[in-house]
Every structure is written in structure tokens, then in C-alpha cells.
Amino acid sequence: MKAKKLLALFGATAMIVVACSSSATSAPSAGASASAAAGGSAAAGGCTVGVSWNNYQEERWAKWDEPAIKKALEAGGAKYISNDAKSSAETQASNVENLISQGANVVIILAQDGTAIKPSVAAAISNGVPVIAYDRLIEDPGALYITFDNKLVGKMQAEALLKVKDSGNFVVIKGNKADANADFLRAGMVEAGVPPVGQSTDKLKNVGETYTDNWDPKNAQTEMEQFLTANNNKIDIAFVENDGMAGGAVAALTAQGLQGKVPVSGQDGDAAALNRVALGTQTVDVWKDARLLGQAAGEAALALCKDKNIKNAKSSLAPTVQFASPGGNDMTSIFLTPQPITKDNLQVVLDAGWITKDVLCKDVPAGSVPGC
């Protein structure tokens, strides 16, 4: 009955979406198939948790986040199911409906577009299915928002770069415009002393700033190439919001012989990015241990299976707090603390088992940086 009510509430628009994208959403991702089997009879425990991934092909989700979510759910006797929107906001809308029709008691959503997914979230909540906005904000006060402190990430990125070079021409390569994290990160940079969008100071001149569709590294490389061309290669600092895009920016700088000369930021702790930090071509990688984020979401989902009040959702890692969102909503949230990784503290990610020394130190001269 729950699924039928939800179908009705989504209305004609949702039905059109389903008709257009049923072939893309009828089967969960490869990770979902394995996890459903792993959960086995766990469904008898009365809790099924569905995860809607925006793009499961990205390295991080399959490598770190999903295993941590599964581990927490399995420890609580819950069943895990999932599907993949493949970077389509339209597909994700029908994916959420599909998870609920499969019996999901709680839905975790990594939003492709935080605005486009709002009707699906509202429909789920109104039908008694709690929603966790995972890593990316969805402006619905009825959803539990679980993420790292993204404004702090941006602040840490900027502080690390400004410590190396505090004057000159700078560019900002931001993430997807539909993702609120892109603006949270930029706001954190402002707190660290980077001029706001469209502004400059006597010491820091903004010579280029752009959003990047889908946080795509290839797009970021093109953007950096265009910034370099427009400024005759006179770029002194590159504030780049994540590791994938940092890879694209570094590739563009390398083509001009500027790798290691222009400070570049990133976040997520991607293996290639941490290697760039060791090599000196990326200045900082703000590490968000996705294992902790997945654990927090899994534990909160278990709590919501027992009590649908999001304010009572529990995680062993951090308590819920109230967050005033940019859209004016009072969001019940769980914020985890990130950590900046530079060439001076690479040992941190080694000690945590996040990366192996052979991968971190590939092509790095022995003894040139701590940890290698």
C-alpha cells in the first residue's frame, strides 16, 4: 500500500519520468545486487534501506562510501538495496520511487540535483519513508542531512594555498552549480581571505571563476586551459574544489610547464590526488574519510527504521545539530570534520589505511617528503 500511495502522490510528472527511464532504473547497480544477497534474511529484521546514487561510476562511492554503509546496516540486521542515476536528475526521481516500491523503509539520497529531487523527497516523507540527504544538501527540513562540514573544507583549501602564496592572480574552479556544496566551499574560501565572487583585493586579483558541470575533470581541464590562455599563463593560485577537477587543472598546468609552480587545491582523498600532493603538483587535499560518512548514514538509517523522528536519529560519530540552510530551512544535520593533507602530514592517510605507500609515493624521490 505504501508504494501505491507514493505512486499516486508523485502524480503525472513522475509517471512520465518513469515511462521515459524505466529501462535505466529497473535494476539496481552491481553493488546493489551483491549487497542484497549479503543482507539475505536480514529483511526479516524489518528494516530495508535504499540508496540512490547519483553516479556510481565515481571512484569514491563504490570504494569507500557504499562498503561503509553496508557494514553499518549489516551490523544492525538491515537489508541494503540501491540503484544508480548515472548523473541524470530525471532518472534519480524515478529511482527513489523504485527503491520505495521494493520496500525501502528509509532512503539515502546522494542528490544529482538538490532542487530537482525535492518533489521525490517530499513524497517519500509524506508517506512515512524517512530520507537522508547524503553528502549533498536537499532543501527539505523533513530530511536528515549528513555530510562533512563543506564550508570548513573550502576554508581549509584556501588557507593551505594562501600559506604558500598570498598574492597574485587567482582562479576558482567550482563544482556543479546544482550542487549546494559548490557554494558552501566557495563561502569557506571567503572566510579564509579569498575575495567573494567577482571581487578582488590589492593582493589577490580574480581573473577567472566558473562552475563545472557534474564536477567533471575534463571540463575542469578545459576551463583551466581557457583561463591560462586568457591570462597569458599568468595565474598564481588555483582554488579547485575537488580532486577530480584538480587532476584536470594540473594537466592543463603541466602542458604549460607550470605544474608545481601554481598552488592547487582539492578534496576527497582520491589516490591520484594524494600522489600529486606527494609529488608537489597539488598543494592540499582536504581529506574526508568517506568510511566515517557512510558509517554515520548507515547508523542513522537504522535509528530511523525504529523511530521516524529525524531529531532522534543516532550516530556514534556525531550528534545531530540544527543547521540554517541557504534556502531558509532549519535542517537537522550531522556534520563530520575533515582534515587537510599536505606534503607535511601524508603519514596520516598511511596510518589510517586509506592508501598504501606504493600508491602514495609512486614516482616520488625517496625521502623527499615525509611518508615517502
The per-residue DSSP string of 102-120 comes to TT-SEEEE--SSTTTTHHH
Q: What angle do CA 12, 16, 20 make, to 5 degrees?
A: 170
Whole-angstrom Cα distance, residue 138 to residue 327?
A: 10
pLDDT(17) > 60:
no
pLDDT(104) > 90:
yes
- Asked whether 268 and 339 are in contact (CB, 8 A), the reply is no
Same domain, yes or no: 8 and 141: yes
Inside any domain, residue 16: yes
158: domain CATH number is: 3.40.50.2300
Same domain, yes or no: 12 and 77: yes
Same domain, yes or no: 70 and 86: yes
pLDDT(33) > 90:
no
Same domain, yes or no: 77 and 131: yes
SS3 207: strand
pLDDT(86) > 90:
yes
Same domain, yes or no: 257 and 295: no
Give the confidence band of 41 by pLDDT, cuts at 50, 70, 90.
very low
pLDDT(294) > 80:
yes
C-alpha cell at 82: 540501491
pLDDT(160) > 80:
yes
Same domain, yes or no: 122 and 166: no
- Beta-strand pair 330-336/321-324: antiparallel
- Asked whether 49 and 298 are in contact (CB, 8 A), the reply is yes
Inside any domain, residue 41: yes
pLDDT in tens, 228-284: 999 999 999 999 999 999 999 999 999 999 999 999 999 999 999 999 999 999 999
- Say what the pLDDT of residue 57 is: 85
Q: How many residues does the chain have?
A: 372
Same domain, yes or no: 282 and 313: no
C-alpha cell at 131: 530520507
Same domain, yes or no: 14 and 131: yes
What letter represents residue 68's amino acid?
A: A
Inside any domain, residue 177: yes
- Asked whether 343 and 337 are in contact (CB, 8 A), the reply is no
Same domain, yes or no: 140 and 273: no
Same domain, yes or no: 163 and 30: no
pLDDT(173) > 90:
yes
pLDDT(26) > 50:
no
Whole-angstrom Cα distance, residue 238 to residue 170?
A: 6
- Say what the pLDDT of residue 6 is: 46
pLDDT(14) > 60:
no
- 135-141: average pLDDT: 96
Same domain, yes or no: 125 and 273: no
Same domain, yes or no: 88 and 192: no
pLDDT(9) > 70:
no
pLDDT(190) > 50:
yes
- 146-173: average pLDDT: 97
Inside any domain, residue 366: no
Closest to 153 measured CA to CA, from 118, 193, 184, 114: 184
Inside any domain, residue 51: yes
- Say what the pLDDT of residue 60 is: 86
Inside any domain, residue 230: yes
- Asked whether 301 and 73 are in contact (CB, 8 A), the reply is yes
Inside any domain, residue 234: yes
pLDDT(227) > 60:
yes
- Asked whether 109 and 131 are in contact (CB, 8 A), the reply is yes
Which is higher by pLDDT, 321 or 31?
321
Q: Total domain count for the chain? A: 2
Q: What angle do CA 81, 82, 88 make, to 5 degrees?
A: 165
pTM of the model: 0.81
Q: Tell me the residue range of the domain where 169 lies.
A: 150-288+339-360
Q: What is the DSSP string of 170-182?
A: EEEE---TTSHHH
- Say what the pLDDT of residue 45 is: 62
Inside any domain, residue 372: no
- Asked whether 159 and 338 are in contact (CB, 8 A), the reply is no
Average pLDDT value over all residues in the chain = 90
